[in-house]
Every structure is written in structure tokens, then in C-alpha cells.
């Protein structure tokens, strides 16, 4: 049984190392050099769709307006502000890249339930409490510097552009990209296999991560200092650190600071090689 457990753990480690090679950047510009056009009515939308010189269509009505996408075929990048726009029949359209822009919980709930969406951008300076209540098959991009977030379900990818004065708690095991300032990230007790990606350029002062559940992987695309605090009852055993930079970065674990590259972080704060990881696991589990 012990040999079986050890073999199973080795297979799990290999899966961790090979299963996190995908790099996701949530807000790629697909419109090229073509200009954008803001429309406020269905008629203007149809005209913009026919104009080959327009790359991006921004739907932003001044009053509550319904836009019907039934039968629409386009590869244009379409941004829809849901504050005053009602969208019908997106599931009956053949569209390219659709981004929904929302600013409150009601609009977020509405956006998550819509089909054929590539990105949901959440933008507000207000102090809001956002909750991702159900699965979002799209990217969720967060630009809400003063808000708090709780992720109770997964999105295809979550990108933090600005959460400078706010916090984010993951209870579902999301893949989180951090490009801008964030006060604190918490891996909640129910989270399984959360992945955190650090993209910040220029380098931020630090990113603080409080780990209660299972943090699977930390991917470093910049040398931003990272502070990790493991709770006493964390379900994390090891964190795979995949450092894509050519430099070591400052990692502080439970108050102890060190410079590290790639490796496997245990909850005592030691970064292990693959061989050290196997030995550490066997020692903790009584395997030979």
C-alpha cells in the first residue's frame, strides 16, 4: 500500500509539472489596426457590421435599448456595455470576440448566464462586493480597485488588472492571473487546485497570498515579491513554483524570506528539487 501511495504521488507530481504549461493572457487585442465605432441603436449596429473599415464595435446606448443578434454573422470584436443594453439571441448568432462590460453584481450575474461570450470585463471605482455564483465559460477581467471578490465557482480564467484596495477569495480552484495591484488573495478552504499567475510589469511591491485550501501552482512571469501564509489547517501539501523569468524572486513563507527559482514549495517554506520532494513526501508518509 505504501509503495502504491508513493507511485501515485509521483504520477500526481508529473501531472502538476506538465499540466500547467498553458499561458493565458485574458485581454488580447484582436481588432488589429482598424478603428472602433460606438453605436447606440440596432440600426447603427447593422451599419457598423457591414463596414469593412471598422474593427471593433462598441455598443453603448444612452438609454435602455434592446439589440437583437438573431442571424448576425461577424468576426468583428464587439464590446457591449450591459448597463443600458439588453441583448437578445446571442445563441443564434455566429460571432467572433464578444466582450461584456459590467459594473455591478446584477450585471455580472446577467453576463455569466449569456452564451457566445469570450470576455466579461468588470469595471467600477465603487466599493462593491462581487460574487461569482456560477461557472463562467469566459474570461473574467477585474478592474475594480475598491471592491472585494468571492469566487464560489470557476471561470475559464480570471485576470486581475486592478484590485489595489480590495481582496479576492477563491473557493473553487480558479486559474488567477495578476497583472495589476492587488491587496490580498486568499485561497479559500474549499478551493481545490488553485493556480496563481504573476504577470506584473513593472514589478509590484508584493503580492500577499493567504492559503487555507489547496494552492496547486504559482507561475511567475515577473519578479514581483510574493508573500505566502499557510493556515494551520491548509489542505495544500506542495506548491509547484514554475518560474518563467531568468531571475530568482523574493518569496516569504510564514514570515521567512528567501530568494528562489523554480521547485516544489512545502508548507514549512522550503523549496525542494524533484528528488527532495519525493524524499520529503516519503518521510512525511512513512514510506521507504
What span, in angstroms and rounded, lies between the C-alpha atoms of 18 and 267? Answer: 22
Q: What percent of the chain has pLDDT over 90?
A: 80
Residues ≥6 apart with Cβ < 8 Å to 105: 128, 129, 130, 131
Q: What is the mean pLDDT of residues 11-28?
A: 49
Percent of the chain whose predicted confidence (pLDDT) is above 70: 88
Query: What value does the mean pLDDT take over residues 238-266?
Result: 96
Whether the Cβ atoms of residue 45 and residue 66 lie closer than 8 Å to each other: no
Dist CA 258 CA 239 (whole Å): 16
Do 55 and 31 contact (CB within 8 A), yes or no?
A: yes
Structure confidence at residue 160 (pLDDT)? 96
Q: Which residues of 197-221 are buried (b: 16+ CB within 10 A; e: fewer)?
A: bbbbeeebeebbbbbbbbbbbbbbb
| pLDDT of the residue at 10 | 54
C-alpha distances in Å from residue 277, one per residue of 10, 58, 270: 9, 51, 10
121, 129 Cβ separation under 8 angstroms:
no
Other C-beta atoms closer than 10 Å to the C-beta of 144 total: 25
Residue-wise pLDDT for 262-271, tens only, equals 999 999 999 9
The reported pLDDT for the residue numbered 33 is 61
Please state whether 244 falls in left (phi above 0), alpha (psi between -120 and 50) or beta.
alpha
What confidence tier does 202 reach under pLDDT thresholds 50, 70, 90? Answer: confident
The pLDDT confidence band at residue 6, using thresholds 50, 70 and 90, is low
pLDDT at 29: 46
For residue 256, what are the CA distances in angstroms to 58, 78, 202, 224, 267? 49, 47, 24, 16, 12
Judge whether residue 31 has pLDDT over 90: no
What would the pLDDT profile of 47-77 be if each residue is shown by its tens digit? 999 999 999 999 999 999 999 999 999 999 9
Burial of 241 (0-12, 13-18, 19+ CB in 10 A): buried
pLDDT score recorded for residue 225: 95
The answer to whether residues 162 and 143 touch, using CB atoms and an 8 Å cutoff, is yes
How would you label 40-76 residue by residue, b for 16+ Cβ within 10 Å and e otherwise? beeebbeebbeeeebbbbbbebeeebebbbeebebeb
Segment 169-195, tens digit of pLDDT: 999 999 999 999 998 999 999 999 999
Strand partners, 226: 207, 251
Query: Domain segments of the chain: what residues?
Result: 2-25+103-285
260 bridge partner residues: 249
Rg for the chain, CA atoms, rounded: 22
Confidence of residue 203 (pLDDT cuts 50, 70, 90): confident
Res 4: pLDDT: 44
Can you give the pLDDT at residue 246?
A: 87
Amino acid at each position: 500500500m505504501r509503495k502504491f501511495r508513493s507511485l501515485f504521488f509521483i504520477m500526481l507530481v508529473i501531472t502538476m509539472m506538465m499540466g500547467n504549461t498553458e499561458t493565458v493572457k485574458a485581454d488580447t487585442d484582436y481588432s488589429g489596426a482598424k478603428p472602433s465605432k460606438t453605436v447606440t441603436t440596432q440600426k447603427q449596429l447593422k451599419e457598423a457590421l457591414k463596414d469593412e473599415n471598422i474593427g471593433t464595435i462598441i455598443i453603448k446606448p444612452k438609454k435602455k435599448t434592446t439589440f437583437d443578434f438573431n442571424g448576425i454573422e461577424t468576426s468583428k470584436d464587439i464590446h457591449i456595455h450591459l448597463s443600458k443594453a439588453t441583448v437578445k439571441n446571442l445563441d443564434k448568432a455566429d460571432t467572433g470576440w464578444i466582450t461584456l462590460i459590467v459594473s455591478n453584481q446584477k450585471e455580472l450575474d446577467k453576463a455569466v448566464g449569456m452564451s457566445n461570450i469570450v470576455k466579461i470585463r468588470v469595471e467600477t471605482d465603487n466599493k462593491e462586493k462581487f460574487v461569482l455564483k456560477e461557472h463562467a465559460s469566459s474570461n473574467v477581467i477585474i478592474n475594480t480597485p475598491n471592491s472585494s471578490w468571492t469566487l464560489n465557482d470557476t471561470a475559464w480564467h480570471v485576470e486581475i488588472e486592478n484590485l489595489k484596495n480590495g481582496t479576492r477569495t477563491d473557493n473553487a480552484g480558479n486559474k488567477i492571473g495578476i497583472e495589476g495591484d492587488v491587496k490580498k488573495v486568499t485561497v479559500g478552504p474549499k478551493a481545490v487546485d488553485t493556480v496563481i499567475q504573476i504577470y506584473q510589469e513593472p514589478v509590484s511591491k508584493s503580492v500577499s497570498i493567504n492559503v487555507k485550501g489547496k494552492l496547486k501552482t504559482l507561475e511567475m512571469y515577473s519578479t514581483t515579491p510574493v508573500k505566502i501564509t499557510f493556515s494551520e489547517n491548509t489542505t495544500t501539501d506542495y506548491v509547484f513554483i514554475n518560474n518563467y523569468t531568468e531571475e530568482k524572486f523574493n518569496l516569504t513563507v510564514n514570515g521567512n524570506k528567501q530568494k528562489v527559482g523554480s521547485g516544489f514549495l512545502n508548507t514549512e517554506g522550503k523549496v525542494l528539487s524533484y528528488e527532495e520532494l519525493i524524499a520529503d513526501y516519503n518521510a512525511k508518509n512513512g514510506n521507504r
